[in-house]
Amino acid sequence: MLFLPLNGNGACGSITEIRKERRRVYVCELTIEPKYSEFDMMGIIYHARYIEWFEQGRLQLSRNLGFDYFDMEQAGYISPVHEMNVEYKRGIRYGDTVLLKTRVIENNGVKTAYGYEVYNGEGTLCVEGSSSHYVVRREDFRPVQFKKVFPEWYAALEEARKP
């Protein structure tokens, strides 16, 4: 997977359409300045931090589409992680600025999956990952059909995912 820049300043202020192999891919870019406390004894980012960053990217992508998980929670629903995959290719070192790229890779009305890429300050791909999520009722964790409960949100994610 190769994503192109969202905008010149690296901010995640909007979603853009990028043409690659005659497909449209919507990507959210988020610049992260790692804190000293996020590094381990080896001088690289502690492995679990990437999962937290993935969450930041996912939340920002939804905000850019006009939706917020807080509103989902207020309506009595939550979206727990179903599956998480992380492939560590190269460590992020202290002093690096991180670029996180997030996109929708699956949205079938029940499950939504996201793809992530993490780059260091030199533009080297360091981590790739993905996560999948279901929407459930907060009171009993029973799954619901995302496209029926939040049809506008589903449609926006589907548009972002579509080739």
C-alpha closest to that of 37 among 94, 90, 89 = 94
To the query of whether residue 40 is one of the catalytic residues in this protein, the response is: yes
- CA-to-CA distance for 111 and 145, rounded, in angstroms? 8
The catalytically annotated residue of 40, 68, 96, 140 is 40
- CA-to-CA distance for 33 and 95, rounded, in angstroms? 8
C-alpha closest to that of 40 among 76, 78, 92 = 92
Which residues carry out catalysis?
A: 40
